[in-house]
Chain A
Amino acid sequence: MADGLVLASVTFHRGPLVVLDGANVRLPRGGTLVVTGANGVGKSSLLQLCAGLVSPEAGEVTMDGISLEPHSAEELVRRGIRRACVFQQGGLIANLSALDNVALPLRYHADVLGLCEPMIEERARFCLGAVGVAPSSMLAQPGMLSFGIAKRVAFARAMAIEPNLALFDDPDAGLDRENAEVVEDILKSYRDDPSITMLVATNHRALIEHLGVTAHELVGGRLVRLDRATMPPSSLV
């Protein structure tokens, strides 16, 4: 069984855009991969592909030897694959409160995760508190929250399920310094956790430097390792 995230001869297009063209990528369990690239090059699509949210046209995406397919979302959790995805927009459920957003996956998989209702609520509140969401904001729906707080809620939801595969799309985009630091701390703790395999798509040079991980640039359907000393300024801000 191959540990970690493996993309084997994966080809994927988003419309006319070549996101991956027969790419082979192996990210060992506990590893961190930072992906950069110009706007519109397909970083978000790559993350969705690696999360198993879309199917490749050719090749296979596996995590710890288990094929990631969109139609087997629940089966993956039962087989021990716990994914955490934070999208640029957050992807929170609009008609649920922040607390219920964080608690939803815990309630849904309570039998698999071995949780009862008091534990679910306690864990959801703990995760929201850990990212600095005030108790007064926990009962508000995402539409009532500021962008930064909503992003924190999305991170709390990702943390709550105790993921072993974490994917973050522009995690600090649009955040003020305080919120960005909260996000950086979470990413660093995931980077150092040997049980979490993490992918981060970003063009923020500061975030890449904070993470201290070699970045790869997505270009022409391939991931090209970037020398930290010669990061092309064109794609990084």
Chain B
Amino acid sequence: MSTTHHHSLRKRLADLRGPGTAPRPLDARALAALAANPGCRRRALMDAAGVDKGAVAEVLGAPARFGQSRFAFSRGHAFEARVKRDGCAELLRLLGAADPGVPAEVPDLAAPGPEGRAARTRLALAEAPAGSWTLLDHPLLALEVAGSLAYLEPDAVAVAPDGRWTVVEIKSFPILDGGADAQKVGAAARQAAVYVLALDAVEPGRARPDVLLVCPRDFSNLPTAEWVDVRKQLAVTGRQLTRLTRIEDIAATLPEGTTFDLRYAADGSTPTRSRIELSQAVDAVPAAYAPECLSTCELAFHCRDRSRADGCVESLGRGLRGELGTLTTVDAVLSAAHGEAGDPADPAVAALRRAAALRAEALAAPVPGAGVPAQQAGEGAGERAGDAACR
């Protein structure tokens, strides 16, 4: 790719973000969320442009619900400091160092700007002496995602005496009696897989496909660790990230002058962009909403409103499409079920008609051993847009 090409994309993304707005760095959590929903062009583009999606959602009147509690934040920091104190002696022990008494090399990675830090990290990885441990505390790794560069910051990367690299992920949820919350471990594994991918971009094959997950043990503050095999997450995330539509292709489909600029007032914190205008800009990029977005994407409530207004079945659950075949809207499902539309030879339509008949029969049936009639569902679907918006 030519430099001018790179330059023009960067300019385009800066225009989308708005002049004078600092980009929000794309972190591993965001990449993992993106990989979980690779079809979402809206998220891909806005993340690549470094748009503050939370602020956009705020202006759209559909702010996200999640955030981080101060308590969890300070607990996380205190625990990480506990793991890394005394020159990471505790971490070395957890990594299985033969003699944790021998201190590890902890190179200084400080540099101005992400490019500088990433370069220092690459240098430190290359210069790590064989035969001893080197620990990189908060290194910065660069990964090209959909044609634009993302900088990622793992908690630590260890270089073992044999030269292999290990991603260390420090989390503050506990490992209780040898087990931890499966959802949290899954999220940590997906996040760590992104770091392994970024290390593979430095030198393929040097990073171990199992990462060290360091957590507090039981109800204490004592660190304990488990090796987590992330080969599966690596394969999935790697494949999904390559599937992402190239950012420039998405940007090319947008009407001239599209921007997510919030036009902050002179105080730098009051957005002046009109809701309608911003909404039009956001809706110019197609989204792939699924309920899972609600816990990972700041824009989810806005996308949910759109998805519901279009009557898309995905708003009821991502897995539904599989059994509904070509029926993509709630209206299509209901009219097929009630025999008003749809081809009876289509297995999905036939099954729905059967289900509707059985359901009606059951609701009309007297309940065994009780005389209370069941509440009947009302009819009368609201007005809905056509199928076009629901892929």
A binds B: no
Q: B residues bordering A, Cβ < 8 Å?
A: none
Q: A residues bordering B, Cβ < 8 Å?
A: none
